[in-house]
Structure 1
């Protein structure tokens, strides 16, 4: 969730009626559901692509490992994965890597280091 949206939910949540709170929660859940649907399709399609490239000449020569070494095998997964990462960041925001708790802990850590460095001033 973006910083603006998070601030809006936190500051104005008291002013929303129950219907508005339900609509906000419904939209969050709907965005998360769409992301997981996107992830599921990504995994299925890329699994099929890898298996198809592995078995490209199965009936002629058996399973060929050359399909696993081709750039074409992984290019779809790579570029689609970048799009999937962008989708994940739009749904979950920066909380995936840096949550509010992590931020507070780092602020406290830097403040304690700074106070220790300025102890004799």
Structure 2
């Protein structure tokens, strides 16, 4: 397998993974849209004096928004580029700490 083939395979795998993430978001959104009317109806039928459905819709709605942001990589801290950069930063910090620790031990 050549380097080009490997790169193409990686790109295909990444694209396939991204499509699955987006599909997962749409499935989550569909369940949200279909279930919340049922939650609202149950609330009005069982305890109309207290509208608890608002908390359910709001809580689940926040989860939907966060899922969508992650699926579409809207904020920079959700995308792979940021993750790779952060991993590299942490590895460099750890290497520097180890180097300083080993360097200090040589003089003792």
Give the structure-2-normalised TM-score: 0.56
Structure 2 equivalent of residue 87 of structure 1:
67
Deviation digits for residues 40-95 of structure 1 (CA, Å, limit 9, x no counterpart): 11112211111222334xxxxxxxxx83x733021101011111111111111227
* Structure 2, unpaired ranges of 5+: 76-108
Which has the higher relative contact order, 1 or 2, with Cα contacts under 8 A spaced 6 or more apart? 1
* Structure 1, unpaired ranges of 5+: 1-13, 57-65, 96-121
Moved over 4 A (4+): none
Give distance in 2, aligned partners of 1:47 and 1:94. 28
Give the root-mean-square deviation of aligned CA atoms: 2.5
User: How many pairs were matched up?
Assistant: 72
Give the structure-1-normalised TM-score: 0.51
Structure 2 equivalent of residue 47 of structure 1:
37
